[in-house]
Amino acid sequence: FKPDIAQHQKLPVVYWLSGLTCTDENFSQKAGAFQAACDNKVVLVMPDTSPRGEGVPDEEPKVYDFGVGAGFYLNATTEKYKKHYN
C-alpha cells in the first residue's frame, strides 16, 4: 500500500508478516493499517505468508498450525514443501 504522498516523495517501508491463523487482511483492514500508513507517511508491504492452492502438503492429524493458511513464513528447500512454503 502506498499513500498518495508517495507520488511526490520517498517514504520509508514497513514490512508486515502476519502470524499464525492470520492473513494480511487482519492487519490492513481490521487494524486500520491503511489510515495509519497515510498518517505516518509509510509504505506498507504485506505479503500473504500462508501456503495456498491445490496440493499443499499437510500433516496428520490436520491441525491449525500447519498446512493451508497456517501463517508460517519460511524458505523450504525439500521437495515436499518447496512449492508452497517459500
Look up the pTM and report it.
0.68
For residue 51, give Cα distances in angstroms to 12, 30, 38: 28, 21, 29
Helical (H) or strand (E) element with 39: helix 33-40
Residue 3: exposed, middle, or buried by beta-carbon count in 10 A (0-12, 13-18, 19+)? Answer: middle
- In the chain, DSSP finds a helix count (H) and a strand count (E) of 2, 2
**What confidence tens digit (pLDDT) does each residue in 16-70 have?**
887 766 777 878 888 889 999 999 999 999 887 777 667 777 666 666 666 666 6
